[in-house]
Amino acid sequence: MKRETVIVLDFGGQYNQLIARRVRECNVYCEIYSYKTDLEKIKAMEPKGIIFTGGPNSVYLEDSPSYAKEIYDLGIPVLGICYGSQLMMHQLGGKVCKAPVREYGKIEVTVDQSSALFENVSEKTICWMSHNDYIEQAAPGFKIIAHTPDCPVAAVENVEKKLYATQFHPEVLHTKEGKQMLANFVFNVCGCAGSWKMDSFVEESIKAIREKVGDGKVLCALSGGVDSSVAAVLLSKAVGDQLTCVFVDHGLLRKNEGDEVEAVFGPDGNYNLNFIRVNAQERFYEKLKGVEEPEAKRKIIGEEFIRVFEEEAKKIGAVDFLVQGTIYPDVVESGVGGESTVIKSHHNVGGLPEHVDFKEIIEPLRDLFKDEVRKAGLELGIPDYLVFRQPFPGPGLGIRIIGDVTAEKVQMVQDADAIWREEIAKAGLDKEVNQYFAALTNMRSVGVMGDERTYDYAIALRAVTTTDFMTAESAEIPWDVIGRTTSRIVNEVKHVNRVMYDCTGKPPATIEFE
Ligand SMILES: Nc1ncnc2c1ncn2[C@@H]1O[C@H](COP(=O)(O)OP(=O)(O)OP(=O)(O)O)[C@@H](O)[C@H]1O
Ligand SMILES: O=c1[nH]c(=O)c2[nH+]cn([C@@H]3O[C@H](COP(=O)(O)O)[C@@H](O)[C@H]3O)c2[nH]1
Ligand SMILES: NC(=O)CC[C@H](N)C(=O)O
Ligand SMILES: [Mg+2]
């Protein structure tokens, strides 16, 4: 019997992997294919259902991604999401145009009538929207099943043809009952049984790594962060002594971080690893001198990392494989996960140089989200305090200092960041807030301190709550915590005379500043 499969057709949305993941959470196997995939190929897979993703384009413009119209006549259920919903309406005779009011963020959606898609969903339900265009008129044969004050067509259905579409994104957690809606599509509309189970990820990965590596040598890029720690422990279980972990101190780490990582993973630490710490501060500062453009900075850091790994590999001799703790969000934001646009080149994906002197890069966590990586970490017996640490980006403070990077600026942001982290921990907020840090805006402004005029830098404080780091909300930190932090920073950190709190969510901002 064929394995029950739902196919996600990728039109360039940012959340495609989330859609696949929600389907997998229903115990239904799911794969993502580009919209450029031939209809015959899709038909041959005999999917139980097809989901069209969102995407940045406008369906009514020429050259926007489209698909063979026959897909709607196969009798296979189709769910269109955002761009996907607009495409379905556009192709089947509805009208899509620029919306008079664009919707962004959480919006209350009113369900107008019962539908297989909305079983067990409240009549008024908070959904997450992100669109500039809208469906002005549904296609003939479709019934409008939900709306919002600014969006007359928030969801439609054609029961007979098993076609469904939502302007909002059910796959993101901000859509309160989105999981239910996707489960409704998968079970009620596609008629899936939900008998597929994800095999034990850890076990399968260890087996696959052993097969690939054989008796070769492996270098693991270890930052001490969650992802590479999980990758390193996984690798060490798989190939033992054939593994060497290399930790690079590029001078863009948080205060005292180099020593802390060494204490855990080094010779006196808890793991029996071949561990090398490379102090590469000077060469990174030299390469970054005077560079302001964020993507240029990311690429320089990405390349320099690799050059350091290559040099270390040469010293060890005969190293074929480089392991990185890359996870899915790194891939999608770098714009290489399918049809999505480049938001920022993560140093370990889009920031990699063209030529890398290893036979192969192994990335065992590449398809997982952060919370899934954490689950794998726990399964591997890594202690809670390591598994639940907040993430820290590979390019480090290099992308938290807007504009050019200097050793003085690094010190400012390190000191401010240490104060912010200390105050957050003291207030007992470190478990609730998923990522928090200080950044150095490149802005200088006038202040007055001790009756003297100052013309100094502004620090921005950031704290966000999120589960998957694909979307995030600015955390509501009590004012007294922000106040205490502010006065400590301006008093204790030289050349800072102003502190701001970033209230923006993601989107429209991102978590990091560059
Ligand atoms: N300072 C570093 N030294 C060596 N490798 C690094 C360093 N920083 C990042 N890397 C490599 O780049 C990968 C991606 O970095 P990233 O910050 O996303 O992951 P992480 O540090 O492992 O986990 P976390 O997201 O929790 O910080 C890491 O998994 C690691 O392989
Ligand atoms: O290893 C990394 N290399 C990078 O180049 C990078 N850029 C962002 N991040 C982390 O990814 C998450 C999402 O960040 P953004 O909202 O800023 O894209 C957040 O957790 C960021 O800290 C990175 N991690
Ligand atoms: N998120 C999306 O899929 C956006 C679809 C389309 N570009 C719009 O703005 O309406
Ligand atoms: Mg990190």
pLDDT confidence bin for 369, thresholds 50/70/90: confident
Delineate the domains of the chain, giving CATH numbers in brackets: 5-189 (3.40.50.880), 201-387 (3.40.50.620), 400-501 (3.30.300.10)
Q: Which atom of ligand 3 is nearest to the CA of 169?
A: 1
- At 336 the pLDDT is 63
Cβ atoms of residues 25 and 36 within 8 Å: no
pLDDT attached to residue 344: 87
Write down the ipTM of this complex: 0.88
pLDDT at 149 > cutoff 60: yes
Q: In the annotation, is 495 catalytic? A: no
Instruction: Please state the rounded mean pLDDT for residues 413-418.
Output: 98
Is the CB of residue 283 less than 8 Å from the CB of residue 252?
no
Rank 22-31, 365-374, 385-394 by mean pLDDT and report only the highest.
Answer: 385-394
C-alpha 464 – ligand 2 centre gap (Å): 13
Catalytic residue among 90, 103, 131, 169: 169
Q: Is the CB of 350 under 6 A from ligand 2?
A: no
Q: How far apart are CA 395 and CA 389, in angstroms?
A: 17
Q: What confidence score (pLDDT) does residue 503 get?
A: 98
Residue 97 annotated among the catalytic residues of the structure: no
- The residue that leads in pLDDT, 2 or 277, is 277
Quick one: pLDDT band at residue 335, thresholds 50, 70, 90?
A: low
Looking at residue 48, its pLDDT comes to 97
Atom of ligand 2 nearest to the CA of 223: 1
Where would I find the H helices in 321-443? Answer: 328-333, 370-379, 384-387, 407-426
Q: Is the Cβ atom of 223 under 6 angstroms away from ligand 1?
A: yes
Atom of ligand 3 nearest to the CA of 11: 3
Active-site residue 82, yes or no?
yes
The pLDDT, as a whole number, for residue 202 is 84
What is the distance between the alpha carbons of residues 151 and 104, in angstroms, rounded to a whole number? 12
The whole-number pLDDT of residue 360 equals 93
Look at ligand 2, atom 10, and give the residue with the nearest C-alpha: 393
Q: Measured from the CB, is residue 325 less than 6 Å from ligand 1?
A: yes
483 pLDDT more than 80: yes
pLDDT score for 203:
83
Whether residue 337 has pLDDT greater than 60: no
**SS3 at position 362:** strand
Cα–ligand 1 centroid distance for 470 (angstroms): 17
Q: Which of 171, 339, 423, 514 is catalytic?
A: 171
The DSSP line for 291-332 is ---HHHHHHHHHHHHHHHHHHHHHHH--EEEEE----HHHHH
Report pLDDT for 514.
Answer: 97
Range of weakest confidence among 16-20, 106-110, 114-118, 185-189: 16-20
To the nearest whole number, what is the mean pLDDT of the chain?
A: 93
pLDDT at site 370: 85
What's the pLDDT band for 108 if we cut at 50, 70, 90? Answer: very high
The SS3 call for residue 387 is helix
Q: Is the pLDDT of residue 269 over 80?
A: yes
**Ligand 3 test: best mutation among 86, 107, 166, most atoms within 8 Å of CB?**
86
Asked whether the predicted pLDDT for residue 156 surpasses 80, the reply is yes
Residue 200 labelled as part of a binding site? no
**Structure tokens that stand for 214 in this block:** 């054989």
pLDDT band of 200, cuts 50, 70, 90: low
SS3 449: strand
